[in-house]
Structure 1
Amino acid sequence: MKEKALDYQYGGKKVSYEEFMEIYEKSDLRMEFINGEIVLLSSPSLSHQEISGNLHVKFREYLKGKPCKVFYAPFDVHFRKEGFKDPDVMQPDLLIACDVGETTNEKGRYMGTPALVVEILSPSTRSRDMVDKLNTFMISGVKEFWIVDPVQEIILVYGFKDLDIEHFMTYRKEDTVRSFWFPDLDIAGAEIFS
């Protein structure tokens, strides 16, 4: 009980990457480290989990026989941002990584940069996902970012090149969502929101 109370005191506080890692290693709570601030994560909603599961299945089908792999939260990623000393540590809802073999450390943790990241919006994470995380992904070398809005049933697809937005599309439930980075990766919106 005492440990849980101490963990909650850190939410929203500025700390160094080293301090965050020390706190994180001693905690059972889900947390992220964004722009020097600890962010405590809550449990996802039912619709969030359904969308995440639907996308996971579609991504796995697409990646069969390919060198990339799909992973889902909780799964830590250390995003090393161009021009920043400390990385951000986040748990994207889903990600596709193509560099797993060469970027796994001695503890078996992934330390690479995903090619594609997906965040599913919730009321408590909406602005952080659409602003802070978009910026982090863009300047850390991620190639593509999908923002899924379960309420409006839309998907925003950002393609990044040279640490900038090169491509942007909005898809609705009735559309077919097409990847910017992965050839032939397309998913019917109705299958994502079903």
Structure 2
Amino acid sequence: MPVPVEWYKWVPDQITAEDYERLPEDFCRSIEVIDGHMVKCESPSRVHNRVAYNLTTAFKAGRKPEPCLMVEGDIDVRFSDVPLSFRRPDVVVYRCIPDHERLYSKDTLLVVEIISPESSFKTDTVEKKAAYADAGIPVYLIAFLNAAQDGVEKIEEYWLSPSGTYQLVQLHTRRLTMANPVPLDIGFAQLTQP
């Protein structure tokens, strides 16, 4: 069914997966949906985008042929269809699935959120951390940009515990070095390079 020119007039307070499929693609890239309620995402800074791109590139370069892993930036990770719930992490590492299939949290191994000092702090450190843990995503990285937004201040590395909550396992302050799910060793200066 084609999208009406004034599509925003028919969008209900609580949307379904079918409603979401009818929304314009460019609008869909600017929202997340939690229990059917749309949440508008702020436009990120250039430094934020650069860090996301460089992390995505580094994770892609570090992948091994087996098991098959994919790395994407800024894509929907679906938690549930009813009620519709998904987030759009800045970087996602997930098990290979066919391109036509929707990405669910069960196939997601690692997510990254990048936090600017003036925005998203509570959302990324509390709300998304709880949602990703509840969805069973094994690894969550939070990259904090410094106040001047000219670089990365620190990266917190969380792993899902047997109790289903995230435990801080490493605080990275100059380099991000990890072995799983993708081997990675990259300096913070490299993360902000154009």
Q: Give your verdict on TM over 0.5.
A: yes
User: 1:139 maps to what in 2?
Assistant: 134
Q: Deviations over 1:94-145 (max 9, x none)?
A: 10001525xx6xx532234310000111333221111111001111110101
With over 3 angstroms needed to count, the CA separation of the structure-2 counterparts of 1:39 and 1:138, relative to structure 1, is: same
* In 2, Cα distance between equivalents of 1:24 and 1:151: 37
Which consecutive aligned stretches of 4+ in structure 1 deviate over 6 angstroms post-superposition?
none
Q: What is the SS of the residue equivalent to 2:108?
A: coil
1:3 aligns to 2:2 (yes or no)? no
1:114 aligns to 2:114 (yes or no)? no
Q: Deviations over 1:152-180 (max 9, x none)?
A: 521111111331224432212x2x22337
CA RMSD between the two structures? 2.9
Q: 1:45-84 to 2 correspondence within 5 Å?
A: 45-66=45-66, 67-73=68-74, 75-80=75-80
Q: 1:1-194 to 2 correspondence within 5 Å?
A: 3=6, 6=9, 15=14, 18=16, 21-23=18-20, 25-27=22-24, 28-29=26-27, 30-66=30-66, 67-73=68-74, 75-80=75-80, 86=83, 88-101=85-98, 107-111=100-104, 112-122=106-116, 123-151=118-146, 153-162=153-162, 163-172=164-173, 174=174, 176-179=175-178, 181-182=180-181, 184-194=183-193
* In 2, Cα distance between equivalents of 1:151 and 1:77: 27
* In 1, Cα distance between equivalents of 2:20 and 2:134: 26
* In 2, Cα distance between equivalents of 1:70 and 1:23: 24
Matched to 2:102, the amino acid is R
* In 1, Cα distance between equivalents of 2:178 and 2:34: 26
* In 2, Cα distance between equivalents of 1:120 and 1:158: 14
Residues 79, 113 of structure 1: 8 Å contact kept: no
Structure 2 unpaired stretches of 5+ = 148-152
Structure 1 unpaired stretches of 5+ = none
* In 1, Cα distance between equivalents of 2:84 and 2:52: 25
Q: Percent of aligned positions with the same letter in both sequences?
A: 23
TM-score between the two structures when normalised by the length of structure 2: 0.76
- Aligned residue pairs total 178
Deviation, 1:36, is: 4.6
Matched to 1:113, the amino acid is D
Q: What is the SS of the residue equivalent to 1:69?
A: strand
Residues 109, 181 of structure 2: 8 Å contact kept: no
Q: What is the SS of the residue equivalent to 2:65?
A: coil
